[in-house]
Amino acid sequence: MKFNAFPVVRYLLFFILGITVYLQTDSYAISFPTEIIYYLIGFLMLIFGLSIRFRQPVVRGSALMAIIFLAGWSLTHFKTASNQPNHFINLPQFSHYQATIIGNSETKPKTFKVEAEINAIKVNGQWIKATGKTLLYFNKQASEKPQYGDVFLIKNMPREVEAPKNPEEFDYRKFLQYKGIYTHHFLWGQEYEKIGHQAPSKLLEFSYKANQYADSVFKARIETPNEYGVASAMVAGLRDDIDNDLLDAYSASGAIHVLSVSGMHVGILFLFLGWMLGWIKKRGKFGKQIFTVLVIGILWGYAIFTGLSSTVLRATVMFSFIQIGTAIGRRQNIYNTLAISALLLLCWNPFWLIDVGFQLSYLAIIGIVFLHPYLYQLLSPNNPIIRSLWEGTCVCFAAQLFTFPLSVYYFHQFPTYFLIANPFVAFFSFAVLPAGLALLILAKVPFLGTVFGFILKHSLVFLNKSIFLFEKLPFATLKGFSISFTEVILIYAIILLIVFFFLRLEFKYLRISLALVFVLTCFNISQDYLQSKQKSLTFHFIPKKSGISIIDGKSATFIADTTLLNSEKTHDFHLKNYYDKSGVVNENKLASNQYTNKQGITYLDFEGKKILWLQQKFNGKLQGNADYVLLSNNAIRKLNPSFTNFQTGLIIVDDSNKRYVVENLKHQADSLHLNLISLYDTGAFSINE
């Protein structure tokens, strides 16, 4: 099998390279005049035309790859929302704006979260047209759930989404920027008014209504909360009603992908349709064509029921191309078929390249296509049940093998029993999805609606029970991994080399893989040694709270009030990635009030540096000196006279202080020539040794 047999794969790789280069240069604020890029594309097209005329294949191929590379770069530039001149962030400040809801509302504990498109802004009393998406958060107590197409008049400007403020914290701002969203606005009831309803797309409006209908059917037919939550998530793509314990169980078993409508669900439906409708292909002259139209039609119908989410759209496009390729006899060149679908999707939205779901979906399919045929040949069970289980195991292993390095890179954990759990998950999912779709279609037919409701409910019961069973096994999930992108590349290289060794039995692949394993081992040993010697103290930014981390080698101590110490959400969002990156093995928690004197002062010593932490109202005068002073809970409102006879290198104000108090302290520090920072402005502050 030669690489020349996959020309579209080559085009895709250069297109991806162009997108990647743009994203990297944009991340580092490196810009190139777009006119130069366009002139360069024109020049290369001239070279390409001349190379055809004078029969120069090397020049022709090089020019074509360069054109595709620049096309990827320029398309990404064009698709970047902030580059549009009429985007609202490029326009003057405004007092009001009109926004249309363009998505399904997501129910949060206190708000409805939804995407909106800004259509016009009011500048100095005049309305001007604008574009650009923003996130809106509607207070649940003061408003009804916003619907797709609702138009609102909103007072004030949306606020820019802030960058992460703790080491290694998830960059939610960049995540939203890749979706074309740069701002958000919390609406508490007085600053907005619904002024109309105008759906931007009738198809999307129908899709969202179908999605809501699906949720209502499951709520009516499935009484138990866990089963209803999983049904709504698996079939309709709605995860609002899933219990946290159930989420943790699915995550521990390596089946969390089941709860997000994705390529796996479309793939299961694709296989089910092939099994149920395969007989059509053998009927008549146009059997294959009829089968293809039916399968693609049902897949797109399913996509509509899920609200046309991006994950389902991508998977539906991918499997549609696979089915078309099979129908026209191109199954042997499925890599080109996959490449065409990926190229089409990236032309529509180049930012899908850095979407985790997009990456994992294609890696899983490539793993299955490449490895499954070889694995399946290892055994030939006669029993149809065992044969089905064996095939499911091969599919799951191939998919997991090609996705686990990237999964560890993004999620910092590995499900130990995935090879055992996933065949069970796939088996029950094979019943859940068809039964769920049949129930949606036949819900109002008395007998059939009851039958499919029964099948769906009990399939979900068995699925959830098996998930909880695997979660309770010892060492169900290995956590705390933190690998670099370089390590990801090395791991993929090792996997491919070992696979080639077993397929071709050539020892050169084994030797190279062992050499890479040695390099990876040496890298990890050196990293482990450096982590064992590390010492750092970090003043964390935690909204409305105070917290300090002290890392000594591979142990971390988090000091905060009892409420914060017991908050899993705080740990997972603000601390976990930082501890994983630092190789922390032992975590300790200390309640800050245990080390506070009667004046509300805590004294800390870190590698010879004195730290003074004030946690309650203090009206006296500080005496002596400290390298750092941390102010919490509005402990000091006037720096003078508290710091008159006290020397310090830096005053740190965390987010437990009221905002107006922080602003007053900043002005006072400027007047008194004291060095003061607010963690709200700077993010976490670390002292490293």
DSSP assigned state of 183: E
Give the start-end residues of each E strand in 516-597: 535-539, 547-552, 555-560, 586-591
Q: Determine which of 111-115, 399-403, 421-425, 529-533 has the lowest per-residue pLDDT on average.
A: 421-425
In this prediction, residue 113 has a pLDDT band, given cuts at 50, 70 and 90, of: very high
pLDDT top residue among 122 and 325? 122
pLDDT top residue among 480 and 677? 677
In this prediction, residue 103 has a pLDDT band, given cuts at 50, 70 and 90, of: confident
Using the structure block, give the residue that is written with the tokens 């996997």. Answer: 495
pLDDT tens, position by position, 601-623: 889 999 889 999 999 898 888 88
Q: DSSP per residue over 298-349, as a string?
A: HHHHHHHHTT--HHHHHHHHHHHHHHHHHHTT-GGGHHHHHHHHHHHHHHH-
Q: Determine which of 22-31, 38-47, 374-383, 520-529 has the lowest per-residue pLDDT on average.
A: 22-31
pLDDT(391) > 80: no
How far are the Cα atoms of 206, 222, 276, 574, 645 from residue 192, in angstroms, in the given order? 26, 37, 51, 32, 51
Cβ atoms of 396 and 419 within 8 Å: the answer is yes
- Pairing mode of beta strands 126-129, 106-107: unpaired
Paired tokens of 311: 């994950």
Highest mean pLDDT among 91-100, 293-302, 304-313: 91-100
pLDDT, residue 29, reads 59
Region of 196 please: left (phi>0), alpha (psi -120 to 50) or beta. Answer: left
Burial grade of 648 (CB within 10 A; 0-12, 13-18, 19 or more):
buried
CA-closest candidate to residue 490, choices 519, 447, 465, 462: 519
pLDDT(331) > 70: no
Q: Determine which of 96-100, 251-255, 389-393 has the lowest per-residue pLDDT on average.
A: 251-255
pLDDT(278) > 60: yes
Cβ atoms of 218 and 229 within 8 Å: the answer is no
Radius of gyration of the chain (CA): 29
Q: In terms of residues, how long is the chain?
A: 689
How far are the Cα atoms of 254, 255, 305 from residue 231, in angstroms, in the given order? 18, 14, 13
pLDDT top residue among 678 and 423? 678
| CA gap 558, 181 in Å, rounded | 34
pLDDT(549) > 70: yes
| CA gap 492, 318 in Å, rounded | 23
Paired tokens of 310: 């991006």
CA-closest candidate to residue 192, choices 124, 93, 126, 96: 96
How many other C-beta atoms lie within 10 A of the C-beta of residue 537? 22
pLDDT tens, position by position, 3-56: 566 788 889 999 999 999 998 887 555 666 777 888 888 888 888 888 887 777
pLDDT, residue 487, reads 92
pLDDT tens, position by position, 649-660: 999 999 999 999
pLDDT top residue among 66 and 382? 66
pLDDT, residue 226, reads 81
pLDDT tens, position by position, 144-194: 889 999 999 999 999 999 999 999 999 999 999 999 999 999 998 788 999
pLDDT(330) > 60: no
In this prediction, residue 336 has a pLDDT band, given cuts at 50, 70 and 90, of: confident
pLDDT, residue 419, reads 67
CA-closest candidate to residue 682, choices 646, 645, 655: 655
| CA gap 617, 657 in Å, rounded | 11
List the end-to-end C-alpha distance of the chain, in Å, as a whole number: 54
Cβ atoms of 613 and 648 within 8 Å: the answer is no
CA-closest candidate to residue 101, choices 201, 212, 241, 211: 201
pLDDT, residue 513, reads 93
Paired tokens of 535: 């010492």
Per the prediction, the chain carries an average pLDDT of 85
| CA gap 103, 98 in Å, rounded | 16
Exposure b/e, 336-359, CB count within 10 A at least 16 = b: bbbbbbbbebbeebbbbbebebbb
In this prediction, residue 238 has a pLDDT band, given cuts at 50, 70 and 90, of: low
How far are the Cα atoms of 233, 234, 465, 636 from residue 436, in angstroms, in the given order? 11, 9, 19, 60
Question: Which amino acid is present at 573?
Answer: F
In this prediction, residue 510 has a pLDDT band, given cuts at 50, 70 and 90, of: very high
pLDDT, residue 592, reads 86
pLDDT top residue among 432 and 73? 73
